Amino acid sequence: MKILGNSLRGLIPNQKRLLYRSCILPIVLYGFQLWYYNMMLLSYPLKELRRMQRRVALWILGAFYTSLMPGIEAIAGLIPIHLYLQKLNGRFHLRMHSLLSNHIIKLLLEMRHSNNKEAYQLSLDRLTPR
């Protein structure tokens, strides 16, 4: 991102924000469901994400490092990272609830939380190689 921002003509702030939202965030948040479960945040990943978002907001605007974070995020047009994670988690749960009741993924998720391990093994046997 810095190489693109330092080119001869450079990138305008809207292009920088679009680059961050479309290329960087999906890569960084690829496995967030592994550590963000049922709105239980782990402090270290969230701290790193906030640090990353601060650096990106400063890069987008070309602001000083002494600038206040909430103001910089708002001016750069970025959603605070904890709210973005809540939005992604809500969409994940909506997707899971919109599955049919006999969908194999839904059966696997429901069986994982039950104590009946035999039923869980049976549902694993239903999976096809495809």
User: For the chain, how are helix, strand and coil distributed in percent, rounded to 5?
Assistant: 65, 0, 30
- SS3 of residue 123 by DSSP: helix
What pTM was estimated for this model as a whole? 0.64
Average pLDDT across the chain, whole number: 76
The burial of 26, by beta-carbon neighbours within 10 Å (0-12 exposed, 13-18 middle, 19 or more buried), is given as exposed
pLDDT of residue 110: 65
Q: What is the pLDDT of residues 77-129, one digit of tens each?
A: 888 888 888 888 888 778 777 877 777 777 766 655 555 555 555 556 666 77
- Annotated domain spans of the chain: 2-98, 100-130
95 and 117 Cβ atoms separated by less than 8 Å: no
Q: What is the DSSP string of 8-27?
A: SS---HHHHHHHIIIIIHHH
Give the list of residues 6+ apart from residue 103 with CB closer than 8 angstroms, or none: none
